[in-house]
Structure formats: C-alpha cells, structure tokens
Amino acid sequence: MSELLTKDKDIVVPGEILAVGMDFLPSYGTYREGDRIIANKLGLVRIDGKVVKLISLSGRYNPKRGDTIIGNVIDLAISGWRIDTNSAYSAMLSIKDASSEYIARGADLTQYYDIGDLVVAKIVNVTSQKLVDLTMRGPGLRKLDGGRVVNVNTNKVPRVIGKAGSMVTMIKRATGCNIVVGQNGIVWVQGEPEMEICAVDAIKMIEKDSHINGLTNRIKAYLEKTTGKKIDTVEVSSQ
Amino acid sequence: MNKDLRLNLIKAFEKGLRYDGRKLDQFREISVETGVIKTAEGSARVKIGETEVIVGIKTEVSKPYPDAPDKGTIMVGAELYPLSSPDFDPGPPSIESIELARVIDRGIRESHALDFKKLCIEKGEQSWIICIDICPINNNGNLFDAASLGAIAALKNARFPEFDGTNIDYKKLTDVPFPLSREPIEVTVLKIGKFLIVDPLPEEEASADARLTVATTEDGKLCAMQKGGDSPLAVEDIKTMVELAMDKTKELRSFLGGN
Amino acid sequence: MTYKREGRKNDEPRKIIAKAGVIPRADGSGYFKIGNTEAYAAVYGPRNLFPKFKQDPKKGILRCNYNMMPFSGMGNRVRPGANRRSKEISMVTEKALAPVLDLGDYPNSVVDVFIELPQTDAGSRCAGICAASIALADAGLTMKDLVCSIAIGSINDTLLVDLDYDEEAYEGSVADIPLAVIPRTGELTLLQMDGVVDKDNLFKAFELGKKAIKIIYEVQKNALKDKYKQEASIKTGKAEDKSSAVKKEESDESKTASKEGQK
C-alpha cells in the first residue's frame, strides 16, 4: 500500500520522508531508499501524478548548457576572455564566438570587451569538469553599458521572468527601464535613477514572495503605486 | 566589479538618491541592544540596516606599563570574520581589520573617555586592562560606524567582575560601571565623485574615492580621525565632511540609552 | 555517591532556539542556541577553490572553520586566531557533516562553513555542528539528511544529557561524550570522549541521547521551514495565523523552542 506523506507545495528539508511505497517515482531533489522516497534538498514539493519532485528554493547557480547568463569579464587570455558566471566556475569566451565580425588573432581584445565589462552570453557547453564555453553570437547577446546589477536567488529567476516574459515585461513598461535577466541570478537594470530603484524593489519583492498566489497582482499594485501610472491589465497575463 | 557601477551610482546621486532609495546623508535603520553576551563583562549588538556587529568586553588584571605605573589601559581587537561576508578571507588579521581596531581604539583612548588612572588598582603593581573585541556577523557596509557605536554601548553596559586581589571571579559581576566620562562616536563620510554620503553600502564602499572617519564627543570636540581611500581630499571637502559627520553623530548618539 | 541534577531531567537538553537565514550575505546560514551556548554558521559556496592543488576533480570539498569569539569563554579572554583546539574541532566538524553532503555536482570547488561562537557554556562543538547543518540545508545543497549533535556526560557514573559548564567542572568523576547523529538512520558521524566511562554506560549514553537528538532535529527542521514559510507569508497575514497556531501546541517542547527562535 503506497502512501504520500506530504502534499503539493509543502516545504520540506533534507532527510524528510515524502512517500512510502513503490507506486511513486522519485524525481529531482529526492532519492529512493527501500520503499521510501526521501528529500535530499530543502525545497517545495511538487506531485505530478506518480512523480514526486522538489523545486529548489535556495542555492547558488550551477552552469547549464543553453542558459543565457550575465557575466563579468575578469581576465583576458590569448584566445579570448575569462568571464565570471556568478557560480563556482568561470567561463571562456573564445575569439571565434565573441562577435559576428571577424576578430584577427593577436588583435587588441580590450577593443571588444574589457575587464569589468558586463556581457549577456549564452552557455554553449559545460563539460563534466565544469569547463564552461560561452558564445556572444545570437539574438540579444551583447555587451551591457551603464545601468546597475542586482543579484537574485537563481531559483527565483523563472518567476522574475514570468510566463512568456510577462512579469519582466510588466516591470519594463511600468518603469521604462531596460532589464535583462540572466539565468545565473544576475539582473541588469538601466533607466532613470528613481525608476531603477522601483524596478529593483519590484524584483526583490518577486524574489521574496515568489511561491505565493496573486504575485502578479501584488507587483502590479506596487508598480502602479510607485510610478503613479495605471498598468493596462490586458497585457498582464495572470499566473 | 562592474566598471560602470561608479558612474551609475553618481547618476543617482545627482538626483539625490542612493541605490536603496535613501538620501545621501541618510542612515539605514539602526538598533542597539546591550547585555547580549552572558560570558562578557559588557556587550552590545548593533544593527545598521543588514549590517550586524557584536561587541564584547572582557577585563584582565595585570602589571601596569613601567612608563605609566598608575594607569590601566584598553585593548581593541577587530576581526573581519569570513562568516560575515564573501569578501573576507580566513587567516591572520588583514590590514583592514587592524585599521578598524586602531581607529576605534583612538576614538576611545584620545577622547579620554575612560579614566585610565581609575583603572589602576595598586600603583606599579596591578591595573585593569579592558579588552574590547569587535565581531561582525553580517557585513553589508559601514562596519566602522557600527563598531564604534557598539564599542561605546558595550562600555556603558559593562560592569567590573569581582576581584579579590589575586583572582578575578568572572561569574560574579559587581555593580561598578567603568569610569566612562565621555562617549565618543564615529561617523564615516565617503566621497564618490563630488558627492558626500554617509552609511555606505558595499557597492558604495567599493566605488569610493576617499573616506573620512570622524570621532566626536558629546560636547562637540573632535577626538580622532582617519582618512582612507586612494584620492586626496581638498580642505573644503574635509570641512563639509567633518560638519556632516558631527551632525550625524547626534543622531547615532540617540541610540545609546543610559547606563 | 550518585550525582543529582537540579532543574532538568537527566535525558533533557537545555532550552534550544534555532533560526535559518540569519546572515543575509551568506549563501546559507544558521543559528543554534542551547542553554547559554550560542553558535552562528555561514555557508559560502560552492565557490572557486584556491590553491589549485587542493581541488578534487571528482567532487567539491567541504571546509569547516570553528572559532570562539574573544569574549565567549567563561573565564579569561580567548586569544583570537586558530589554536590546536579550534583546528581539531574544525576537522571533526567537517567529518561530522561530510557524510550527509553530496558535492558530486561541483568538482574542483569548495563549500566553506564558518562557525562563530559569541558565547559558550559547554557543548560548543555540538552547537556549531547543529548550526552548520541548518546553514548547509539553507544553502540549497544536496544532503541525504540533517545532522544533529549533542554531548552526553557522565558524573560519578550517572549519565546526563547536555552538560553545562558547572556540571563539567563538578568535582568528581566527569566524562563527556560529544556525538553527532544522522537522525533518520541513527548512524554516528562524530564521536569523541574524555573522562572515564564503563563500556556498558557508553552504549547506555547513546540510548539516552536519542530523545535529545529528536528534539534537536525537530527544532532544526522547523527553523528551516519557518524561514521559507515566513518569506511566503510576509504580506498575506498568514504569519500571525501560524504563530497563534503554534501557541496552542505549547506542550510540545520542540515547537515551543522553534517559536521562540522566531522572536
């Protein structure tokens, strides 16, 4: 007889027994021991039919192929740039992936990206030893000028972006700021100083309250109150 | 560090704003709690925004220095615990932690806040050493001011332990307070571009051109200063910075209760 | 002559308070107070490990650092900096926590755990391990369980859970056995002993500690859950509902303790 010992959206800690019996299947954040499914992370329980999994609520970024991140140029090498990824591993951006234009070998690399520059880049490869390769060739991949960065919990990034980008679009429209959200938890915001503050506060609110219902409406109310402008509700798809 | 950070901070300063929405001369929320450490003779926990510091006081009895046989003394220690910030490394005290301890030490020593003569028990034989230790729990900027406020709050909170002429009984505190006659408080002013700010965030500390810490007593006398940062300061800047610091000191002082 | 404990039962730990997320700049943090012994723990990482020769290409390594604040001792000021005692405790803390931790996803990296004790009244390594366990879970790391730690003492052959400083200093035959336990399996990850104990009493001590381990586990678990529940209910008013619900169950020791931890 299989039994579930937890419910959807419960917060559990490592070592908690989530289910007993072979009818359930362990997925992300859980492991099976005998007939039991046990949490191996702190997280939010999701039960999807027979599958028991966790959604992480905390933890640093771990580079993943296909992620678009915001990185900081920390060093120059012979054949490219060393980029900090806000994780335990830095990444390499090689000359051939750095730009749509041709960069000759031996060219002055600082002409393109200098130490301290912020770039939006895409992870093209992560090896088992966590050697990370980046590319700057692709839509939206570029150097970021000016603006400020705010660090958010990388597990909350999907909520900051919202469904099909709805959340970040709402903040952009309300504040008039340019915003780029990196999967690695770095968010870049550029606009008028008071609007940058408003956008960052909204992002911090999302990070804090991400797993409760009615988030979109609360953020909308906050933005309307702070900017003194009404937000067209049709544009904002509910969660 | 993002190289545009400093320029972007200045852009906001031009509108009179900081990254967290504060005004240039505005402190974050401050709290001071005393008597937080049972093993110390005096202690305080100071929070300025998310910055949190514990200051604790221990006493020792030892032979006075030969050049000051009728005086006790103080010893200020500070360690920038790697627990409190990703930017602090484990290992022997860094120059930053030594500077912090020495600046706090000077504020107390040079203001004659503690009457060192009253710390002498028997001339040339025995005197009290007051050890003030500064321990950051979370560093989100402005450790200097938090440490200074904590040191005075802890000194006010402290009581001598019982001493029978040979041994100290640390478990029994007397009701005798320390001979504290003044309360020097430090405020640090940062210069970024042409702007002056107080109570900096870590981003602001990293972008600062210069820094001036000013210790002031309650009667408006300056008792210690320390300039930091890589850029020089003009005399006019220093004047404005000293005035701003002295003005802000009054605000911080209101968080120190009675004995 | 048997020793008679005043004020609490032989198998009863001192009052426990725990919190998670107390150090905002850290990747994970925990606070654990048992009686007058108080520990903060901060986790930083996984992060880049230097020097490079210390890296393990198969997995991340765990590095713990135990330190007493200068004013945290019952007697004289504790001299700052590492000493032989703190180095050994750092090492056994590492060994106590590593068995539950899986850093296979983080080759060549390090997870740093810094433990600071603002005040101590015996049992400081155990409090440090309990705080560190909360901090590691708060940092979102993969762990098969939490780790709970408590010391069992023996005074004139009477076994007592969680000696305080006065009991440790009792003039008689005193022994102290610090333990760390993986709560779900009962396996030990820390075992030290000083003093003289009968072989039979050693195994009785493990039995006697079980109740305290259970209490500690509940307090740690609630501290972690409360942090994330609180985050979720800040503006919905659910926080008040919850705290009043806890009040009704004040008979349950562990829940009371964690409720106080929230103050």
Nearest CA to C111 out of C32, C56, C180, C179 is that of C56
With CA atoms as reference, report the closest residue to C28 among C142, C143, C135.
C135
Q: d(Cα C52, Cα B164) in Å, to the nearest integer?
A: 55
Hunting for tokens 């060739």 — which residue is that? A137
> What's the pLDDT tens digit per position in C76-86?
999 999 999 99
Please report the ipTM that was assigned to this predicted complex. Answer: 0.95
B6-29 pLDDT, tens per residue?
999 999 999 999 999 999 999 999
Residue C124 near residue C37 (C-beta atoms within 8 A): yes
- Structure tokens that stand for B155 in this block: 């000194």
Residues found in chain A: 239
- Band of the pLDDT at A233, cuts 50, 70, 90? low
Overall size of chain B counted in residues = 259
**Partners of residue C141 in chain A, C-beta under 8 Å:** 41, 59
- pLDDT value at A191 more than 90: yes
Residues 88-107 of C with CB under 8 A from A: 100, 102, 105-107
Show which subunits contact A, needing at least 3 CB pairs below 8 angstroms: B, C
CB B37 within 8 A of CB C71: yes
Q: Which residue has the tokens 């997320």?
A: C21
Buried b (16+ CB within 10 A) or exposed e, B80-90: bbbbbbbebee
Least Cα separation, residue C111 to chain B (angstroms): 12
**Tally of CA atoms within 13 A in the half-sphere of B204 that contains its CB:** 27
Token pair recorded at residue B234 = 């003009």
Tally of structural domains, chain B:
1
- Three-class DSSP category at B74: strand
Whole-number Å distance between alpha carbons of B185 and B246: 9
Distance from CA of C145 to the nearest CA of A (A): 4
Token digits of residue A156? 């909350």
Residue A234, pLDDT > 60, answer no
* Cβ proximity of C163 and C171 under 8 Å: no
Q: How many angstroms separate the CA atoms of B22 and A116, rounded?
A: 27
Spatial separation of the C-alpha atoms in residues C92 and C103, rounded to whole Å: 18
Alpha helices in C70-123 (DSSP H): 84-97
Range of B91's domain? 12-253
Under an 8 A CB cutoff, do C140 and A212 touch? no
pLDDT of B191 > 80? The answer is yes
Domain membership flag for residue B148: yes
At residue B2, the pLDDT reads 65
Query: Is residue B43 predicted with pLDDT exceeding 50?
Result: yes
Angle at B177 between CA B172 and CA B181, to 5 degrees: 160
pLDDT at A158 over 80: yes
Separation in Å, CA of A118 to nearest CA in chain B: 7
Closest CB from C47, C71, C116 relative to B37: C71
Q: Does C31 touch chain B (CB under 8 A)?
A: no
Q: Which of A15, A43, A130 sits opposite C183 (nearest CB)?
A: A15
| pLDDT in the model for residue B173 | 96
Domains of chain A: 3-56 (2.40.50.100), 68-144 (2.40.50.140), 148-235 (3.30.1370.10)
* Contact by Cβ (8 Å): C28, C220: no
Bridge partners, residue A189, by sequence = A148, A179
Which CATH number, 3.40.630.30, 3.90.1150.10, 3.30.230.70, 3.20.190.10, labels domain C16-261?
A: 3.30.230.70
Q: Per residue in A52-90, pLDDT tens?
A: 999 999 999 999 999 999 999 999 998 899 999 999 999
DSSP 8-state secondary structure symbol assigned to residue C36: T
CA dist., res. A3 & res. A167, Å (int): 37
Percent of all residues in chain B with a pLDDT value above 70, rounded to a whole number: 98
10 Å Cβ neighbour count for B243? 13
Burial class from Cβ neighbours inside 10 Å (0-12, 13-18, 19+) for residue C203 reads: exposed
Instruction: Look up residue B88 and give its DSSP letter.
Output: P
Query: What per-residue confidence (pLDDT) applies to A87?
Result: 97
Q: Which residues in chain B are contacts of A115 at CB distance < 8 A?
A: 3
Cβ atoms of B33 and B256 closer than 8 Å? no
Question: Does the pLDDT at position B132 exceed 50?
Answer: yes
**CATH number of the domain residue B194 falls in:** 3.30.230.70
**Residue C250: its pLDDT value, please?**
37
pLDDT string in tens for chain C (263-residue length): 789 998 999 999 999 999 999 999 999 999 999 999 999 999 999 999 988 999 999 999 999 999 999 999 989 999 999 999 999 999 999 999 999 999 999 999 999 999 999 999 999 999 999 999 999 999 999 999 999 999 999 999 999 999 999 999 999 999 999 999 999 999 999 999 999 999 999 999 999 999 999 999 999 999 999 999 866 554 443 333 333 333 333 334 333 344 343 33
Q: Which of C32, C49, C67, C77 to mutate to test the interface with B (most CBs of B within 10 A)?
A: C77
**B116 in Cβ contact with B49 (< 8 Å):** no
Q: Is residue B209 part of a domain?
A: yes
Residue C185 is given by DSSP the state T
DSSP result, C64-127:
EEEEE-TT-SSSSPPPSS--HHHHHHHHHHHHHHGGGB--TTSTTEEEEEEEEEEE-SS-HHHH
Predicted local distance difference test score (pLDDT) of residue A103: 85
Q: What CA–CA distance (Å, rounded) separates B114 from C253? A: 46
Q: What is the mean pLDDT of residues A176-187?
A: 97
Give dist(CA B171, CA B167) in Å, integer: 12
Q: What is the largest CA-CA distance in chain A?
A: 69
With 60 as the cut, is the pLDDT of residue B54 above it? yes
* pLDDT tens digits, one per residue of A98-142: 988 888 877 889 999 999 999 999 999 999 999 999 999 999 999
CA distance B151 to A88: 37
- Tokens 């195994």 -> residue: C203
State the pTM of this model: 0.93
